A = this chain, B = another copy of it.
């Protein structure tokens, strides 16, 4: 399948590499491919320069958001949450129409000041969420692109576990699905199964993405308390 992975950070790289390995035709989307390839230092999250990563994955193409989206049969939003709406606007509603759009992003807000912030795993004030509680990033994306079929999933765990669940606890942990589109949910579920997911809980319509997006503060507190990100939720029932 032709798949566009939007975003060049850890989440985008994890998906692109794994999908390439699974035999898909993968294009990574970015705002400005020239600028992305020109960077020589680590990014803000400590990832190695994208050009070095891309050189190790000769089967993967890099393109502008719109070019990546146009050719794709399925898309994954792996951009940072606070940049997702802009990235998808650049991808273009027409290029998303009728296609499954897997949204794995978290709407972290690093800039709004908080009287007493939660401490983050990195020793700095933790981000808050925006939107939260009465809305979600997934719903914002769906409203901005009504002809896309948004599926929220994989936003509850670390990038390296999203695409390789078997590397933790024999793969016996949980991932969630939220979407208003039954067929897109089926397609996302098949992709999750290909990644190795066995415990997939369908939460219902896209409003339930509020629930999984709001896991983020607990996720950050756990990362800090445990001292690593090699963990995930299992729903015991």
* Neighbouring B residues of A236 by C-beta, 8 Å: 168-169, 172-173, 231-234
Contact string against B for A residues 201-237, beta-carbon threshold 8 Å, 1 for contact and 0 otherwise: 1111101101110110111111011101011111111
Nearest CB in chain B: distance from A73 CB, A: 28
- Contacts A115-B134, A134-B114, A234-B234 given; indicate if A201 touches B225 (C-beta within 8 A): yes
* Neighbouring B residues of A212 by C-beta, 8 Å: 218
Chain B, Cβ-Cβ closest to A168: B236
Q: Is the interface of A mostly helix, strand, loop or mixed?
A: mixed
- Contacts A212-B218, A218-B212 given; indicate if A117 touches B225 (C-beta within 8 A): no
Q: Max chain B CB contacts within 10 Å: which of A203, A204, A218?
A: A218
Assess whether B234 is in contact with A222, with CB atoms less than 8 Å apart. no
Which of A21-29, A61-69, A84-92, A125-133 faces chain B?
Answer: A125-133
* Neighbouring B residues of A45 by C-beta, 8 Å: none
Assess whether B225 is in contact with A202, with CB atoms less than 8 Å apart. yes
Chain B, Cβ-Cβ closest to A234: B234
- Contacts A134-B115, A215-B214, A218-B215 given; indicate if A235 touches B224 (C-beta within 8 A): no
Residue A14 interfacial (CB < 8 Å): no
Residue A139 interfacial (CB < 8 Å): yes
Assess whether A237 is in contact with B230, with CB atoms less than 8 Å apart. yes
Residue A116 interfacial (CB < 8 Å): yes
Residue A118 interfacial (CB < 8 Å): yes
Chain B, Cβ-Cβ closest to A218: B211
- Contact sample, A vs B, 24 pairs, CB 8 Å cutoff: A115-B134, A116-B207, A118-B207, A119-B205, A119-B207, A133-B133, A133-B217, A172-B236, A178-B221, A203-B218, A204-B221, A204-B224, A208-B217, A208-B218, A208-B225, A210-B217, A211-B222, A212-B218, A214-B217, A215-B215, A232-B236, A233-B233, A233-B235, A234-B234
Please give me the 9 A-B residue pairs with the lowest Cβ-Cβ distance, nearest first.
A211-B218, A231-B237, A211-B217, A169-B236, A208-B221, A118-B207, A214-B214, A211-B221, A203-B221
